[in-house]
């Protein structure tokens, strides 16, 4: 009678199989079973099944849109041929075509500064005393192009690097309002009113410095939540970060430019002229109307001058208010400020900036315009 004994591992004898499960499978496999219709590659990466792509692909939606346009091309042509639509399209195209080159140039320069200029440069260049650092930081906006979307993360990086919050906030407000691209666009948009460029520069710089000093005087530490990390800490190369910033800002700012151009064209072509005349003829109402419009439209500062120039029913002072308020406080800026510095900060900083910007714009317009 032969007795069978198990051989030790490595002696060449047979080994018993596992008590349960397939004899040649791994001890455990936590990954789910590959669903039918997918393609695996070395156990990683699966193809997308037709069910996962959804019932409507982008190509299908585009085809449906084109077919619908062909079916209703007669009514569409009739609507576009109406005089009011001709006027609307003329204003819309004029605003977009004039503003787009300045917007793209501003985005390129803004991305270059945000990616290639280290925030420590600003910390070394600013005076140590906050009272002196505020006007220096405000004046730095005149030589450092940047839209308002880029100025908020840059200001957050300055605070993280130890720059006084008052100086960082002054730069946040001045950079998108008085940089060379914005002032050049303003000069092109108002060729017959060169004083508009000086008025915008003076009013915006005064508001930026005043808000910085106001925060230094009345601001509290618990209102300001320093950002945990900066935008340049995402691990990407500088080239990738630059083009990523350009793509994001062009799409983001371009969308707001289209919305602003549509609003300006609608005001010119659709709203009855007597309504605009009534609002524009009242000094206080015209200023408040364009200040609120600047907040709601949220147009990029490189393009807002062309929208303001199209609002010819309103006075230069009212349009100056539009140009000063917009780059400092609007809907997207409020969201950016709340996300970067905290909601407690934004709820206090935004209303104060709005009131001060309106007041300084009116006083500057009374003196210079």
pLDDT at 360: 97
Average pLDDT over residues 320-333: 91
Do the beta carbons of residue 320 and residue 369 sit within 8 Å? yes
Q: Which range is most confident: 126-135, 296-305, 321-330?
A: 321-330
pTM over 0.75: no
Do the beta carbons of residue 304 and residue 186 sit within 8 Å? no
Handedness of CA 233, 245, 323, 139 (dihedral sign): positive
87-96, 106-115, 336-345: segment of lowest average pLDDT:
106-115
| pLDDT, tens digit (0-9, with 9 covering 90-100), for 271-282 | 777 777 888 889
Average pLDDT over residues 24-53: 45
Q: Which range is most confident: 38-42, 257-261, 318-322?
A: 318-322
**% residues pLDDT > 70 (the chain):** 72
Q: Which range is most confident: 116-125, 296-305, 314-323?
A: 314-323
Average pLDDT over residues 245-258: 72
pLDDT at 226: 66
Paired with 46 in beta bridges are 40
pLDDT at 45: 43
Q: Which range is most confident: 223-237, 333-347, 349-363?
A: 349-363
Average pLDDT over residues 93-121: 73
Average pLDDT over residues 333-361: 90
Average pLDDT over residues 198-206: 97
Token pair of 86 as six digits: 């001709």
pLDDT of residue 69 exceeding 50, the answer is yes
Nearest to 361 by CA among 302, 316, 308, 297: 316
Do the beta carbons of residue 223 and residue 342 sit within 8 Å? yes
Element spanning 345, H or E? helix 343-368
Angle at the Cα of 230 (from 228 to 233), degrees rounded to 5? 110
Q: Which range is most confident: 1-5, 85-89, 206-210?
A: 206-210
pLDDT at 5: 46
Band (pLDDT 50/70/90 cuts) for residue 321 is very high
Could you give the count of Cα atoms lying within 13 Å of 263 in the half-sphere of its Cβ? 19
* C-alpha–C-alpha distance, residues 212 and 167, integer Å: 6
Radius of gyration of the chain (CA): 29
């Amino acid at each position: 009678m032969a007795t069978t004994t198990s051989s030790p591992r490595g002696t060449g004898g047979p080994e018993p199989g596992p008590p349960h499960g397939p004899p040649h499978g791994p001890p455990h496999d936590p990954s789910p079973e590959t669903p039918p219709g997918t393609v695996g590659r070395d156990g990683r990466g699966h193809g997308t099944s037709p069910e996962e792509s959804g019932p409507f692909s982008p190509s299908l939606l585009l085809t449906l849109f084109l077919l619908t346009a062909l079916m209703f091309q007669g009514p569409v042509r009739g609507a576009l041929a109406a005089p009011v639509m001709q006027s609307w399209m003329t204003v819309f195209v004029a605003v977009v075509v004039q503003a787009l080159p300045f917007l793209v140039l501003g985005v390129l320069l803004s991305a270059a500064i945000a990616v290639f200029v280290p925030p420590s440069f600003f910390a070394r260049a600013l005076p140590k005393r906050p009272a002196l650092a505020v006007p220096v930081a405000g004046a730095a906006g005149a030589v450092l192009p940047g839209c308002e979307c880029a100025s908020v993360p840059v200001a957050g990086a300055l605070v993280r690097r130890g720059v006084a919050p008052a100086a960082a906030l002054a730069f946040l407000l001045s950079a998108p309002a008085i940089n060379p691209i914005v002032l050049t666009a303003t000069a092109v948009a108002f060729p017959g009113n060169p004083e508009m460029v000086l008025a915008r520069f003076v009013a915006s710089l005064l508001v930026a410095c005043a808000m910085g000093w106001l925060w230094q005087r009345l601001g509290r530490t618990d209102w300001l939540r320093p950002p945990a990390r900066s935008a340049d800490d995402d691990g990407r190369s500088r080239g990738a970060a630059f083009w990523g910033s350009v793509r994001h800002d062009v799409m983001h700012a371009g969308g707001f430019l289209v919305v602003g151009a549509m609003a300006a064209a609608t005001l010119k072509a659709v709203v009855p002229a007597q309504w605009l005349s009534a609002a524009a003829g009242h000094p206080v109402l015209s200023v408040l109307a364009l200040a609120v419009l600047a907040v709601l439209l949220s147009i990029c500062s490189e393009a807002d001058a062309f929208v303001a120039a199209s609002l010819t029913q309103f006075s230069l002072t009212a349009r100056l208010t539009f140009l000063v308020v917009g780059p400092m406080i609007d809907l997207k800026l409020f969201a950016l400020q709340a996300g970067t510095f905290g909601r407690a900060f934004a709820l206090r900083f935004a209303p104060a900036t709005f009131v001060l910007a309106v007041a300084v714009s009116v006083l500057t317009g009374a003196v210079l315009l």
